[in-house]
Amino acid sequence: MEKIKCDTEAVDSSIKSIFSEQGDLDFAEQLWCKMKCVSSYQELIACFTLVLESLERGEIQPWIHHGSSSLLSKLIQQSYHGKMEAVSLTGITPVQMLLEIGLDKMKKDYVNFFIGKPASCEHA
């Protein structure tokens, strides 16, 4: 059992060193780094509600990477033009939105890893 624990810690350490801090995280990636540990569905809804309301009111105009495919990224792009589609944060939509930004983040991390530029949100 001790061997497995040591191996797990070694793998965790290797992953953290491979994907070290990157300075150009866009808004969705930074949000993922903060929201990946939400503890409840209600907390997830509250976070996305705050973000979407801020976007709708023009209080924030966050930067996102070109080519991001998540619903949140599309909403952010729409907010630049003052026209956001209505999104109902019910059912699986909030979970799906979180998953999409996480997948976008993971895709970018792996692309950057394979071209030699590691990425992470270890300290974000």
In order, the DSSP letters of the chain are: -HHHHHHHHHHHHHHHHHT---S---HHHHHHHHHTT--SHHHHHHHHHHHHHHHHTTS------TT--SHHHHHHHHHHTT--------TTHHHHHHHHHHHHHHHHHHHHHHTT-----TT-
* Among candidate residues 9, 11, 16, the one with its CA nearest the CA of residue 119: 16
pTM of the model: 0.74
Residue 24 confidence (pLDDT) = 79
The model's pLDDT over 11-60, given as tens digits with 9 standing for 90+, comes to: 555 444 444 445 578 899 999 999 989 999 999 999 999 999 999 999 99
Sequence letter at residue 17: S
The least confident of 59-73, 74-88, 107-121 is 107-121
Predicted pLDDT at 89:
97
Q: What is the pLDDT of residues 58-76, one digit of tens each?
A: 999 999 988 888 999 999 9
